[in-house]
Structures are given as C-alpha cells and as structure tokens.
Structure 1
C-alpha cells in the first residue's frame, strides 16, 4: 500500500474503492520496454500531475470506471512532477505534445490514441485490447 501512497503524492491518495494494477513509470529505460511489450500487449501510460486538482479529479474518475485486468493491458502511472525527464522523453519518443493529465495508448511501438483532461474518460480502453 505504501507504493500507492508514493505514486499518488503521499497523503493525497485518491479515495477509490479499488486498486488498479499500476506500474510506476520512473526510468527512461522503461520506455524502450514499453515499446517492446507493445508488440504483444497494449501499453497505457497515464501522466498525472500530483499538484493539479483537475488531474486528480480525472484520475479518480478513471480509477472509478476502470474495469480491465493485468491480462488485458499494462497500465503505467507517470508522476510527471517527480519524473520530468521521463515525461519529456515520453513526448519526444511518442511524438505527442505534453498535456496533463494525459493518457497514451501504445501498440506496436506507436501511440494509437491519446487524450487529455476530461477526454481521458471518454476513451473505451477495451477497444484497444
């Protein structure tokens, strides 16, 4: 549980009833792993600003509506304030302009869909499995 507290900014952990299978995205090397893994399984990156109320609200809505499992896709969580270098590289490597919050869906090494702010919760992730 401590890992989730750190992921979501210490004591500001969202009040959700369920825990998602988050994978912390904190190292540049993980981006190459994401690209490689995306050849066989959908990879999703959720970029979150722990100091932004809108980002927190969108993430809470995302968590509440999430209904997939670890078998369906890999779900990465990027705290863009603590891992700014990783966040910058995500934009460069996947050619997507930075926004926050932001969701990127990656298959076969490329972003096949992305959204930011409230549009994140309009994406039906099940269509990308």
Structure 2
C-alpha cells in the first residue's frame, strides 16, 4: 500500500467475505464443441460469449463481463467464441439454438437449448444468477 493510499484510503476492503472467482473460459474453436456444450448443459448452464476482436464495443463488453463474472466452474461453464476466426460456429449456433447472430452476444444454453441471450450493452454477468 502506497503513501497516498494510506492517506486517501485506497484499496477498499472486500464486501463481507465475497470471494472473487477467476473468470475461466474455454475457447470455442471447433463446431464439434457445440455437441460438448449440449452435453454439459444437461447438468449445468453454459454461457457462450461471442466476441469480435476488431470491435471496440465487443472488447469493452468482454472486459466488463470478465470483471463481473464470479461463478464457480461447478455451477456454470463459459465459452469464448472469436467471431472473426470462427464465423462458421456462430452460423451453426444461430441454426442450432434459434438465436439471431449479434456481436457481442451471450447465449445461455440449458438442456441443449438457448434459454437466454443478450447483446451489446445488455450483456451483464450478474444476469446469470437466475440460471444457477
């Protein structure tokens, strides 16, 4: 803690022992992994974050999502899809889950079906609480 932090009270204490879980995601880089997502979604929700690496809005939404994501791996999994390199996967997701393509976008899959999706500034990791 630096001198100015001591004076101005930097580093506020954490709220009531709330532990921050490191945001761990899996890379969705093969269309065959959607079959794995469907299997996993039978026991817990899976969120897929579709991200365009050239878009500043998408980059901001991803950073905010990562900062807010605070869920244990045993309760929910999340996958990251790079749209510029894997548009074919996004197209398959639109067909499989009946969700129109957006970017950035999150899709929550449960029992092999999309049960929630949102895009752009509507993406909020706190909205995932309703699914766990």
TM-score by length of 2: 0.80
Secondary structure of 1:92's counterpart equals: helix
In the TM superposition, residue 56 of structure 1 has moved relative to its aligned partner by 0.5
CA RMSD of aligned residues (A): 1.4
**Structure 1: unaligned runs, 5 residues or longer:** 1-17
The match for 1:119 is 122
Name the SS for the 1:77 alignment partner.
strand
Distance in 2 separating the partners of 1:122 and 1:34: 19
Question: Does 2:88 match 1:89?
Answer: no
List, as ranges, runs of 4+ consecutive aligned residues in structure 1 with deviation greater than 2 Å.
Answer: none
1:20 partnered with 2:23:
yes
Asked if the contact 2:69–2:126 (Cα under 8 Å) also holds between the matched residues in 1, the reply is: no
Residue 105 in 1 paired to residue 103 in 2?
no
Larger Rg: 2
Corresponding residue for residue 62 of structure 1: 65
Pick the aligned partner of 2:48 from 36, 45, 48: 45
Determine helix, strand or coil for the equivalent of 2:118: strand
Q: Is the 8 A contact 1:21 1:69 kept in 2?
A: no
Q: Does 1:73 align with 2:72?
A: no
Structure 1 distance, partners of 2:54, 2:22, is 21
* Cα pair 2:69 2:125 within 8 Å, conserved: no
Contact 1:39 1:107 (8 Å CA) reproduced: yes
SS of equivalent residue, structure 2 residue 115: strand
User: For structure 2, which runs of at least 5 residues remain unmatched after alignment?
Assistant: 1-20
**TM norm structure 1:** 0.82
Mapped partners of 1:33, 1:64: distance in 2: 26
